[in-house]
Each structure stands twice: as C-alpha cells, then as structure tokens.
Amino acid sequence: MRQLLKASISFGLIGCLVLSPIEFVPSTDLTVQAKSASTTGTAERVTTEYTKVYTSRSKKAKVVLPLTFGTTVYQNATSGSWTKITYKGRTGWVPSATLMPSLISTEYLVDRTTDLYATWSTKGKRVTTVRSWSHVVKTGEYGKWSRVRVGGKTGWLPTSYLRSPYSNNRITRTVYGSHTYGVDTQAEYDAVYKRVKAEFDAKYNSAEFGFDSYMHRVLNGERGTEDRDDPNFRSLENADLLMAEKALAPYFEGRMSMKTYEKMYRTNGFLQYISDKYDSKPVVGDKNLKSAYDVLFRGKSDCDSSEQVKSLVYDLAGIDNIVVGDGVTHAVLMFKVDEGWMGSGYKAYTKSEIDSINSNTVYLSYTQKGTRISY
C-alpha cells in the first residue's frame, strides 16, 4: 500500500506539461555515439585583447599584423604558450593567453532587458539594447561575460543573463517525433533513451505497478470509514482503504475510463520507480538544468528536467505528451488520452480551454517543433 501512496502522489504531480499530438516513429537503430574529435586542423578562436601576430613564437619577431579585441581567427597549432593562427589568409603566432576558448555557436535566450557592450565591462561602449527573452547566439566567453550576436550586432553581456538553449539541431535521430527530452547531443539522447527503455522493457508490465489488494477491494465495493469515533478508524487497514478510494477518484468521478486509469496508474507507478532508482538532487535556480540527461546521469533536477523524464516514460507507454512552461518559473507535462488532453486535474480540457492555452505566451520547452496544441 505504501507503493500505492507513491503512485498516487506521482499521479497527482503529472502536471508540468501541455500536449500536442506527437507522431510516433519507431527507430530500430539506436546506438550511443560519442562525440568524435574534429578532423580539421583549425578551430575558431576569438581575441580577448589587442594583440599582434608575429612570424615566430617571440614578441621580438617581425609583426605580421595587429588584431583588435574580439577578432575571430583560426587556430592551426599550439606550442608552449603560443598559438599559430590564420586571419584572412595570413598566418602567424600570437600569445595563447590572448585567445578565448572555442565555442560552438549556440542559441540562448536573454532573461532580462540589458545593454550589449563592446567589451566585457559595463564601462565599455554600448552597442545596442537587448530586450528580455530575445534570442541571441553565443559565440565566445571570457570570465563571467559572454560574447553574443543579435540582430546583426555583436557585443558582450553577463553570462548569468543567458538561459540554456530551448532547441538545438544536433539531435538528428529520435524515436518519438520531435521529442529530444531536452538533451544537447545525440549521444546524450541515445544514452537517456536506452537507459529508460531497458528499465521499461524489464519492469513496466510487472505486477509491482498494478492495482494491489486494497484497490481491488475498493473496486468491489468495500470502503474505509472516516468516522473518527469508529474504533477501526486509526487502523492501518482502514487508512489503506481510504487511500485506495482517494487514488481511484478520477475513475469514480467519471473523469477517466477504467482502461485509461489503469494505464495512467501503471505508468506513474513506473515513473516513481525510475525517480527512486535514479535519485537526483533538486536544484533551485540553475537555468542550465533542462534535460532528462541531467536527472538520469548528472543527478540534478528541477521541474523542466523532471518533466523531460516523464515525457520519455509517457512516450514509451504510448501516451502523447508535451512540455510547456512560462519561460521563467515553471514547466509542466500534459498528456492526451481517449478522454482528451489532461493535466494535473485529470479532467479533459474543453476546446475553449485549449484555445486559451494556445493564446498564452508560453513556450513549448526545448523539444517541440509545434507551436499549438490541437484539440
């Protein structure tokens, strides 16, 4: 019965998402592929200060040309504290300390209105103003500052103002439509999918996640007592009967058919098992937490990342689902069953409610390509 409590609690916390119909496309070739090393001899770098390019690894050598702050160059080789670079067809050596780490250009959101500066300081020249929730492309970083490109202009802003990317194009092979579970690479996707799929195949249909004897007793008409004067009121058996009756409320109140309820009960029981086995530490305020990989492999979670795990479990169970949030504080999962789209209230949304959700300025977080929920 304690498992029933866990399952009913899990069932009561489904609501971190809003769903849209998802195309289920099975994949038979899911192998984990580690990110391969680059085969090119060059890598993009950005200068962190004014510097000169020399013909050899010495500041006494002949100067090839000067480079201003923020210039993009290409690294060819390194030797000691020097890096050989190419800029506009000209090659030479610069001190390695004058170059930023290479970054893959990635889209982010700016979570507040801020000025963009020509250098990594608020004392630098203002390039432009970036409005809250604007999309920017991060191209470099230095200390606590990030170099970004927006609206054809490039400048610097504090890294703390950036939210992790809401989408990326590096996931090329998925099993369930556009669902990528918030991950950043194909290797992460494959690892997440294979881990949960293995657990699902081994455990999902086991008796562990089905109705226990108290659920069956309640379905057969037996009830616990809520009369505090009844000597049986404080018994463990009575508590379990009351708990079973409460858990079955969606069915008794006509919000779900028994077929739907049984599936949701089993699915959320399995979800609780995954949550318990891959116990993650809740983290508040980390804007970079967003994926099922964070939960299952990094041991960290928040509402976004936890809902992505739910999304995968629901996908495996054949339940359409989608993740929605306000872009700032919360993300939730909603699911589609025979009765319609549902959330944490386990009551089908009406068409007007779906239209209202679609009209709100919410984002379909990280994994979805659609922009509207179909009624």
Per the CB < 8 A criterion, the answer to whether 10 and 268 are in contact is yes
Task: Name 129's Cβ contacts closer than 8 Å, sequence gap at least 6.
Answer: 113, 114, 115, 116
**Same domain flag for 179 and 305:** yes
**Same domain flag for 18 and 120:** no
Per the CB < 8 A criterion, the answer to whether 195 and 296 are in contact is yes
373 vs 197, higher pLDDT: 197
**Same domain flag for 179 and 327:** yes
pTM of the model: 0.58
**Same domain flag for 290 and 333:** yes
User: CA separation (Å) from 224 to 8, 197, 235?
Assistant: 17, 38, 10
Kindly state whether residue 60 falls inside one of the protein's structural domains. Answer: yes
Give tens-digit pLDDT for 18-57: 322 222 222 222 222 222 222 234 567 778 778 899 999 9
**Same domain flag for 113 and 90:** no
Kindly state whether residue 238 falls inside one of the protein's structural domains. Answer: no
Average pLDDT over residues 309-322: 93
Give tens-digit pLDDT for 142-158: 778 988 888 888 899 99
**Same domain flag for 276 and 189:** yes
SS3 165: coil
Per the structure, the count of domains in the chain is: 3
Would the pLDDT of 78 be above 50?
yes
**Same domain flag for 281 and 343:** yes
What CATH number should be reported for the domain holding residue 81? 2.30.30.40
* Domain range enclosing 120: 106-163
Kindly state whether residue 184 falls inside one of the protein's structural domains. Answer: yes
